[in-house]
Chain A
Amino acid sequence: MTDVTITVNGSVRSASVPPETTLLKLLRDVFQLTGTKLGCDVGDCGACTVLVDGMAVNACLMLAAQADGRQVLTIEGLAMKDRLHPLQKVFEESGALQCGFCGPGMLLSAKALLDDNPDPSSHDIRDALAGNLCRCTGYSKIVEAVQDAARAMRDPRTEDTRQLEMHGHD
């Protein structure tokens, strides 16, 4: 057994797991964070994308032990206490999530991109999301949604407007 201690969505978590356990298995089966999905288990689909120290990784390809001592962000940690992350809000509004199975991975890859580059071109977005497969949407709504979210996040008024919208003051 290998002891692993990671910070997941801000909380320190530890577990003792067989050494071959992937980060994906640790998150889903041990920590019960099932928002991260398993689509292929071989690094092809991106459904298992999480952020490790801010970088988008395929959790099915990373051993739990390799994440020891690192910061992990999963989809469960993306929303703020009282509001959605702008990406979640825009994805929801613009129909960028259909069956939703690719959604958690897609959103986290998009977050990693926007953290790095607040004003990505559609080419940058396609490039950043190239490892995240979606069989439902045809991608165009996803790319537009990421652009909309980027615009909203760059706009200094956004936070207040969003708060108001959320609480329904018209």
Chain B
Amino acid sequence: MTDEPKTLTRERIAVGDMWRYADDARSLPAAVPPKTLPSEPLVPQPGQQTLAVGQRVTRPDSRNHGLGRTKYIDDLAFPGMLFAKFKRAGIASARIMRIDTSAAEAMPGVMAVLTGNEIPVNSFGPTFQDQPVLADPIVRHAGDGVAAVAAVTEQIAAEAVEKITVDYEPLPAVFDPLEAMRDDAYKIHAPNSNIYASKVVRRGDVDKGFAQSDQIFEGRFTTQMVEHVPLEPHAAIAEWDANGRLTVWATIGRITLARADLARTLKLPMNRVRLIGTFVGGNFGGKNEISQEPALALLSKKAGRPVKGVFTRNDEFISSTTRHPFIMEYKTGVTKDGRILARSVRLILDGGAYCSWSATTLGKACILASGPYKIDNVHSEAHVIYTNKTMTGAMRGFGAPQVCFAYESHMDDIAKALGIDPLEIRLRNVFDEGTSSPTGQVLHSVVVRESLRNAADRFGWETRS
């Protein structure tokens, strides 16, 4: 006990001391921008390569990253700050009958507990406001939060979460999107259908195209759910001050949207909400909307202290958005020499429990579904379906990688069956300068033919074994 003050004194002096090396680095010259770029702004011209291509680019923030000086959310702390943890449902589909938080509240060090019924407007989402901040009373996937705790240490918060008991009435659940599409399927957002968004792109007449084709190929392709796994987990700090103003520091990619969602869920005028987007330690689409922030804000309001929430890696996998699994059915009519006359595509997106950025993903996937090929007759349709799984949302490419996997695999199958070189069949069909895409957009700066040839030359396509 007598040692304590001594240790503390040393600490106070030592902290400044510890920063010495990194502090000195501040006097180093800043990271140098690439020298060869002209100083006047670059105006890209169609069909011309910009001067930026091929330049070595130095990121202006790398200096701080390399020195360990970049302050991500979890590197910030405020006096009196509390730590939040979430109770996850652990059941995919259920009605919450009762939540008992009394044991958690009685724990020393627990400063506030929150459940869904305390959230002013318990729904948010970038497209449809179909996602609750904390499930109340319906749980739609196992990662749904059902309660949150703020405590003086992370450990106490985690222990308190364990002490919360929830009585559930299990409800039917549906996990397969094809099953969920059926009329008699359990409605996850009753009374609405589980098919929550659709899109169709039509060009020419596919039936005529198929009738004129020498051969018709069909293929079915599926992709799996993918988590973004940013190295920095979702993290935020909320401080609700005594004047009723809210400040939130968050690792988030879309701060204006997040601010609007915060104001909406908390029923606050927008000018009472200040959102500070900090460095993001990897987003990839997974940090494009709010998640725990409204709950942290309300915990802070209750406790009168700033509250930090950092997702565990487990939270990250079960309750942040993921990439949509796709079921993709392709049908393509070709001539004997491999020219595509017609293509029909049907995409079924497993949308998980909430919409998030599904509508955007659906649209982009549907527009790109027929590939970078000149096809006069196209029919693409896409549907996104609710299932009782972790919600799917934005992830790099918004659905483009899934359809690319399918149409290119399909192309390879066709080439093989027709005995045409896979590169050759692509060159016979690819977009050219001025081609109009299936949605009628006239495309410029199209270099896919040159790119394919260059790539084939570079990796020795002809001489491959």
Contact = CB atoms under 8 A, between A and B. Distances in A.
Interface of A: 3, 8-9, 11, 13-16, 28, 30-42, 44-45, 47, 74-84, 88, 91-95, 97-104, 107, 133-136, 166-168
Interface string B310-322: 1011000000000
B74 A38 contact: yes
B21 interface: yes
Given A14-B10, A81-B21, A168-B29, A97 B233 contact: no
9 contacts: A76-B19, A91-B62, A99-B282, A100-B70, A101-B72, A101-B231, A104-B68, A135-B284, A136-B282
Interface string B60-94: 01111111111110110000000000000000000
Nearest to A44: B313
A14 B231 CA distance: 30
Contacts of B71: 34
Contacts of A36: 68
B280 A99 contact: yes
A79 B22 contact: yes
B54 to A, nearest CB: 13
Given A9-B21, A95-B62, A100-B70, A37 B231 contact: yes
A32 B74 contact: no
Nearest to A14: B7
A76 B68 contact: yes
A35 B233 contact: no
Given A75-B67, A75-B68, A97 B62 contact: yes
B59 A95 contact: yes
Contacts of B183: none
B215 to A, nearest CB: 39
Interface of B: 3-4, 7, 10-11, 14-15, 17-22, 24-25, 27-29, 31-32, 56-59, 61-72, 74-75, 228-233, 279-284, 310, 312-313
A78 B15 CA distance: 17
Most A C-beta atoms less than 10 A away, residue of B17, B64, B66: B66
A133 B231 contact: yes
Contacts of B74: 34, 37-38
Contacts of B75: 28, 34
Nearest to B68: A35
Nearest to A34: B75
Contacts of B63: 92
B230 A99 contact: yes
Contacts of B228: 135
B66 A88 contact: yes
A47 B232 CA distance: 9
A45 B233 CA distance: 12
Contacts of B282: 99, 101, 135-136
Nearest to A89: B66
A9 B65 contact: no
Contact of A92 (B11, B31, B229): B31
B62 A35 contact: no
B58 A95 contact: yes
Contact of A99 (B18, B21, B279, B313): B279
A16 B64 CA distance: 30
Given A13-B14, A79-B67, A92-B63, A101 B7 contact: no
Nearest to B74: A38
Contacts of A37: 72, 74, 231-232, 281
Contacts of B310: 38
Contacts of B19: 76
Contacts of A75: 66-68
Contact of B281 (A94, A101, A133, A167): A101
Most A C-beta atoms less than 10 A away, residue of B4, B29, B313: B313
B21 A100 contact: no
A95 B61 CA distance: 10
Contacts of A77: 21
A102 to B, nearest CB: 5
Contacts of A84: 25, 28, 66-67
Contact of A3 (B3, B27, B70, B312): B3
Contacts of A97: 59, 62, 65-66
Given A16-B4, A88-B67, 14 more contacts: A9-B18, A30-B11, A37-B74, A45-B231, A47-B231, A79-B21, A81-B20, A88-B66, A92-B58, A93-B32, A93-B58, A101-B282, A135-B284, A136-B231
Contacts of A135: 228-231, 282, 284
A25 to B, nearest CB: 9
Closest 10 A-B residue pairs measured CB to CB?
Answer: A35-B68, A100-B65, A75-B68, A101-B281, A34-B75, A88-B66, A101-B231, A92-B62, A97-B65, A40-B313
B278 to A, nearest CB: 12
A32 B160 CA distance: 26
Given A9-B21, A47-B231, A99-B231, A35 B69 contact: yes
B250 to A, nearest CB: 15
A94 B287 CA distance: 26
A121 to B, nearest CB: 23
Contacts of A11: 14, 17-18
Nearest to B13: A11
Contacts of B57: 95
A14 B282 CA distance: 34
A21 B71 CA distance: 23
A123 B282 CA distance: 26
Contacts of A30: 11
Contacts of B18: 8-9, 11, 13, 31-33, 76
Nearest to A132: B231
B231 A102 contact: yes
B67 A91 contact: no
Contact of A100 (B10, B61, B283, B284): B61
